[in-house]
Amino acid sequence: MSAFNAIGEEREIDRDEYTPGIEPQPTWCPGCGDFGVLKALKQALPEVGRSPEETLVCTGIGCSGKLNSYLDSYGFHTIHGRSLPVARAANLANPGLEVIAAGGDGDGYGIGGNHFIHTARENHDMTYIVFNNEIFGLTKGQTSPTSPKGHKSKTQPHGSAKSPIRPLSLSLTAGSSYVARTAAVNPNQAKEILIEAMEHDGFAHVDFLTQCPTWNKDAKQYVPYIDIQDSDDYSHDIHDRGEAADMAQQAEEALYEGEVLTGRFYVDDDRPSYTQEKQEIGEMPEEPLAERYFDDDYEWETERSYDLLDRHA
């Protein structure tokens, strides 16, 4: 089987391409849904046609944040909630990179929630995978922004009084041009969705349901799932924002009643990415900024930066 790389060259798919030579032993607990994300990503990446040298995975803090330790690509383990700003900078400096940001529900919908909203609004060209286990896993089971109302934990021993974040609806409202939900228990669908998300030009948000059997026993609710694209009960138009909003709301209501609706919720192929918009108005060069570092003859506009330094001297 073959795929095409960034400059259209045909290349053979090597399914082990993203598996490190000396494979580190993941420290995730047995049965953790994070294994499902790693597996789906390792299968999806070669099919997108990118090599590990063309791929950057920026992660947040949490069990989910360890993802890039187990992948043979470039990686940046950022601070809590900050995978997106780092991923944005990398994408702006080198739009040729396949940029993936990944982190937990606490990381992305809590402490990094502001970055999520604005990265979606600006439609930065990247894939954002949120490992949604409805709990703070790494720090041993505190209530997270997606924990259901009434959920008991060490931090909310009488049950959470808060309604959970609705990540699909929030994503759509903020401006994501691709919104999907998949689950670790459904690796084939997960792989297909990750391929689509990576091939999409713009901000592709994948809410990835991952069970945490250690700290969130309610994880069993993720089985069985329904694929809304395969089911006769659902037939919304994924290109229609209004229909997508209704479907997202329905899925979010259903989740807390134990029915897991997964699949594509919204796809907008026409909206230009932030980089395309900037290039259109002449504020961003066609040549990647990153390449200037390798060009000894490039004349940097140093005056402005020296001015700035003088002012702070």
Ligand X SMILES: Cc1ncc(C[n+]2csc(CCOP(=O)(O)OP(=O)(O)O)c2C)c(N)n1
Binding site for ligand X (CB under 6 A): 61-64, 80, 103-107, 131, 133, 135-139, 144
Question: Which CB, 133 or 176, lies closer to ligand X?
Answer: 133
Burial of 10 (0-12, 13-18, 19+ CB in 10 A): exposed
Q: Report the partner that residue 215 touches, choosing among Mg ion, ligand X, ligand SF4, none (CB closer than 5 to 8 A by kind).
A: ligand SF4
Largest CA distance in the chain: 68
* Residue 28 interface partner, choices ligand SF4, Mg ion, ligand X, none, CB cut-off 5-8 Å depending on type: ligand SF4
Q: What's the chain's length in residues?
A: 313
Helices and strands (H, E) in the chain, number of each type: 10, 10
For ligand X, the closer of residues 92 and 185 by Cβ is 185
Q: Smallest gap, in angstroms, from Cβ of residue 107 to Mg ion?
A: 7
Binding site for Mg ion (CB under 5 A): 104-105, 133, 137
Tokens found for residue 2: 């073959």
Cβ-based nearer residue to ligand X, 98 or 107: 107
Closest CB 107 distance from ligand X, rounded Å: 3
What residues line the site for ligand SF4 (CB under 6 A)? Answer: 28-29, 32, 34, 63, 133, 137-138, 212-215
CA separation, residue 148 to residues 135, 142, 159 (Å): 10, 12, 9
User: In angstroms, rounded to a whole number, what is the distance separating the alpha carbons of residues 278 and 286?
Assistant: 10
Task: Select from Mg ion, ligand X, ligand SF4, none the partner in contact with residue 61, using the beta carbon and a kind-dependent cut-off of 5 to 8 Å.
Answer: ligand X
| Rounded CA separation 169/309 (Å) | 44
Q: Which is nearer to ligand SF4, 37 or 251 (CB)?
A: 37
State phi, psi for 176 to the nearest 5 degrees.
Answer: -55, 140
Distance separating the N- and C-terminal Cα atoms of the chain: 59
Of these partners, ligand X, ligand SF4, Mg ion, none, which one is at the site of residue 32 (CB under 5 to 8 Å by kind)? ligand SF4
